[in-house]
Homo-oligomer: A and B are copies of this chain.
Amino acid sequence: MPEQPTDRAALRRANLAWVIGVLREQGGLSRAQLAVLSGLSKATVSTLVTELTARRLVRAGGIAAGGQGRPGQIVELDPDGVRGIGVEVGIDHIAVTSVDTAGQVVSDRRVAFDVLSAGVDQTVYQLAEVTHRELELVDDAYPAGITVSVPGLVDTARGVVRLAPRLRWREVPLADSLAGQLGFPLERLLVDNDANLSAMAEYQIGGMRGTTDLVYVTGDFGIGAGVIAGGRLVRGAIGYAGEVGHMSMDPMGPQCSCGRRGCWETQVGLGALFHALAAPGDLVSDPNRPIEERMAMIRARAERGDQRTLGALHQIGSALGVGVSIVVNVLSPAVVVLGGYFAALPDWLIEPARIEVAARAVVAEAATVRVVGSDLGFAAARTGGALAALNRVYEDPTEAPERTEMTEAPA
């Protein structure tokens, strides 16, 4: 039987969340338009807008032109009131991003950091430092939450990194440690897998946003997939879906960080790229240089026809396509988004990958899957984390504290 809402506070929260949701979808709207869309009275809408204004989630915009009735003031999201923060641990870097309630990135920093040499404790300390600085930058905006992206298997309920082979982490209680060092509320600090967060970022704000059957493949030292099926993230029974990097592609292949041989990521990970195209000491594999700069160096070499570079890229692109075709045959997504370094070298990696995927499709229609590079590039995971951190406020706007008098609402 359809349930009638009985709890007035729950109903108010649902109404507040509905207003935020419709403003996110449609941009600014007048109170009259909100009343028509919601079926609520204009008085109720005004009360909701007043509360959201006090919580700095919406603000007064311009005057609505045209339409019926007298013009009304537009209500729009207040991008400056609330922030979501995404922090990323990579094998050779730490990075942090803040997004506003409209999903726009307002700051993004990446610093070189050698996680393997530093070890767990020092890395968590450094993460706390970087995050603390970001919390200062957020200034008077309310930090709705912090999400830490990790290239590994995460118990999201407990905030524990179960296993991150490339970081050599096992059973790290990251949420507890970081919340403790920052003095940040544990319930607003999430930890999640990098591929899952990237897939959600693509789904929400990427070039293929709204594609309900989408697979995101990370292009980093490790390779993972984030799977969206029917508009929902597939985590699997114990949260470990998308571990495609350890598909066995060549039992005689090189040793993998997981202990086995010939896993897909030994063929197409960033380590395989550097190994294939760079001699020891080559600047392209220097972790202290910005990754974007190193990618530009590789593009320059490919463009001038360097044979070692072109050969390496073709080989990796083909191996990329072989693995992607397996994922496509299992899941039949509309789009496969290739992230990280794959997206930085599209002409040389994504084209050969597309050819393999098309050749291995079971049926011609299955070859219509689109294989594209991510617009979000190396920032996808932390951006997804920052967006995930906003969900608390989107779902329950009363999470954001009241910071102005209710009477200061726009007229």
Contacts and interface: CB of A to CB of B under 8 A. Distances in A.
Given A232-B230, A246-B362, A363-B163, A240 B332 contact: yes
Contact of A240 (B211, B237, B366): B366
A: contact size bracket: 35 or more
A153 interface: yes
Contact of A163 (B18, B229, B327, B362): B362
Contacts of A400: none
Contact of A40 (B1, B38, B247, B322): B1
Contacts of A14: 2
B329 A243 contact: yes
B326 A247 contact: yes
A207 to B, nearest CB: 16
A2 B243 CA distance: 39
A39 interface: yes
Nearest to A214: B237
Given A40-B1, A330-B225, A365 B248 contact: no
A64 interface: no
Number of this chain's copies in the assembly equals 2
A236 interface: yes
A362 B258 contact: yes
Given A1-B39, A237-B369, A325-B248, A242 B362 contact: no
Contact of A241 (B260, B326, B331): B331
A237 B335 CA distance: 9
Interface in A240-290: 240-244, 246-248, 258, 260
A236 B153 contact: no
A310 interface: no
B366 A243 contact: yes
A234 B237 contact: no
Interface in A301-343: 322, 325-327, 329-335
A168 interface: no
Contacts of A244: 329-330
A14 B2 CA distance: 9
A334 B237 contact: yes
A211 B363 CA distance: 30
A235 interface: yes
A183 interface: no
A5 interface: yes
A77 interface: no
Contacts of A242: 330, 332
A232 B231 CA distance: 12
Contact of A331 (B40, B162, B234, B322): B234
A372 to B, nearest CB: 14
Given A1-B38, A248-B325, A334 B232 contact: no
Contact of A332 (B211, B212, B239, B247): B239
B366 A238 contact: yes
A243 B330 contact: yes
A33 B260 CA distance: 58
Contact of A238 (B5, B153, B162, B365): B365
Nearest to A258: B362
A335 B247 CA distance: 19
A392 interface: no
A368 B400 CA distance: 41
A360 interface: yes
A153 B362 contact: yes
Given A234-B234, A237-B369, A330-B331, 5 more contacts: A2-B5, A2-B14, A153-B366, A240-B365, A244-B329
19 contacts: A1-B18, A1-B38, A1-B39, A2-B14, A162-B363, A211-B237, A236-B333, A237-B334, A238-B332, A240-B332, A241-B330, A242-B332, A243-B329, A243-B330, A243-B362, A243-B366, A258-B362, A326-B326, A327-B330
